[in-house]
Structure 1
Amino acid sequence: MKIRKANLNDAEGIAKVHVDSWRTTYRNILPDHFLQSLSYDQRTDIWKTNFSHKNNYIYVAENNEGEIIGFGTCGKREKNKVEHSGDLTSIYLLEEYQGTGTGKQLLMQLFNQFKELNFNSVFVEVLEDNKTRYFYEYYGAELLKSEKINIAGTELNLLVYAWKDIDNVLAKF
């Protein structure tokens, strides 16, 4: 397994992981018709646009055959007004690679990026029913608040977590 900085040529592979992981991660959370309507082509276009944003940091995980099996992204959301802070915006893995340490390696890479950007704290948003929140909690994320959101006609609880000390997180690796 290899973690590396992504490039525009990775957009299609990232899109495939994005769609496939949403279909497994959000099964029984979001409506099936919504998950089945997700499109590789549409997500590829979105990812090509994501690469054009200079404050978007995108990393991919590859298996031994060089196939993209996961990705992680970070930066600073426009709505984040906290000085010296950033946002972990996503970590997604194909289901068969979950629990293999790949997510941990992506998280470490993202936190090294935060350190390089001189951020002191990091926020992450995760759906309450998404078991990934336990992964974030394990690495020290503290729950700040919960808010209601609507995705595909379904009301969900969005949890906002924060890591208040990047060095504490990096020390866990």
Structure 2
Amino acid sequence: MFQGRRERNLMIIRQAKVNDWKGIARVHVDCVRSSYKNILPPDTLDKFTYNTREQRWKKDLPSSTTGGTMTYVVEDGNGTIVGFSLAGTMRDARLRIKYTGEIYGVYVHPDVQGKGYGRKLFECAIQHLTSVHFSTIALWTFKDLQSGAFFKHLDGEQVYEKSTTIGGEKLEEIAYGWDNLKPFSVLTEDLN
């Protein structure tokens, strides 16, 4: 468990437990509704509810906390889950040629963004991926999300673009990759 102080806020990052599904679902829904509101079609956002996400996370979380896939959560000083990251084996065949690990997502509740939680969750995901011997990683994000600036700030290199259709609308996605994870290894030593 990592504990650190950031701008007078207590931050506790830990591996998710199977009973964290409700807190993760709340963060997931609030992030998607806030960040994706001008990207995803309204019908798609309307289907992204607390109830549907809670059911999905309750079902999927047990397999996302063991083996090659790992979910981390960050709690605020009150023990409330305010963010999570999820990482594992690269799923995309195009990227798998060069990148072995994938960060499936880094989500920080809109009310607490900008406090360092996202960076620490990213570092935890990398620590996990390197612990299971992945030496390169990549992730996907929508082109118009501000998360692209975040990943560039973390030295992610734009390595691929693709179009995808969601709810009948064509959207552009960008993959960011990291060939060198060593700069993050020093930052994550406290997590072992």
TM > 0.5? yes
Match of 1:51, SS state, is helix
Q: Which residue of 1 aligns with 2:36?
A: 26
- State yes or no: 1:79 paired with 2:72: no
Structure 1: distance between partners of 2:179 and 2:98: 12
For the 8 Å contact 2:13–2:73, the answer to whether it is kept is: yes
Q: Which residue of 1 aligns with 2:107?
A: 92
For the 8 Å contact 2:43–2:167, the answer to whether it is kept is: no
For the 8 Å contact 1:75–1:87, the answer to whether it is kept is: yes
TM-score w.r.t. length of structure 2 = 0.83
Alpha-carbon distance change, 61 to 136 in structure 1, aligned in 2, over 3 angstroms? same
Residue type of the partner of 1:135? Answer: F
Q: Which residue of 2 aligns with 1:14?
A: 24
Q: How does 1:139-150 map to 2 (within 5 A)?
A: 139-150=154-165
Q: What's the offset of the Cα at 1:52? A: 3.6
Match of 2:46, SS state, is helix
Structure 1 unmatched ranges of 5 or more: none
Q: Which residue of 2 aligns with 1:64?
A: 77
Taking only the aligned residue pairs, the percentage that are identical comes to 28
Structure 2: distance between partners of 1:156 and 1:38: 18
Query: Root-mean-square deviation (CA), in Å?
Result: 1.8
Structure 2: distance between partners of 1:45 and 1:135: 30
Structure 2: distance between partners of 1:126 and 1:78: 14
TM-score w.r.t. length of structure 1 = 0.92
Structure 2 unmatched ranges of 5 or more: 1-10
- State yes or no: 1:50 paired with 2:60: yes
Residue type of the partner of 1:28? Answer: N
Q: Which residue of 1 aligns with 2:13?
A: 3
Q: What's the offset of the Cα at 1:157? A: 0.6
Q: What's the offset of the Cα at 1:172? A: 6.8
Runs of 4+ in 1 over 6 A off after TM superposition: none
Structure 1: distance between partners of 2:158 and 2:98: 19
Q: What's the offset of the Cα at 1:34? A: 2.4
Q: What's the offset of the Cα at 1:83? A: 7.2
Q: Deviations over 1:69-97 (max 9, x none)?
A: 11000001443544772000000111011
Structure 2: distance between partners of 1:88 and 1:150: 21
Structure 2: distance between partners of 1:156 and 1:17: 23
Alpha-carbon distance change, 171 to 15 in structure 1, aligned in 2, over 3 angstroms? same
Structure 2: distance between partners of 1:13 and 1:116: 26
Match of 2:51, SS state, is helix
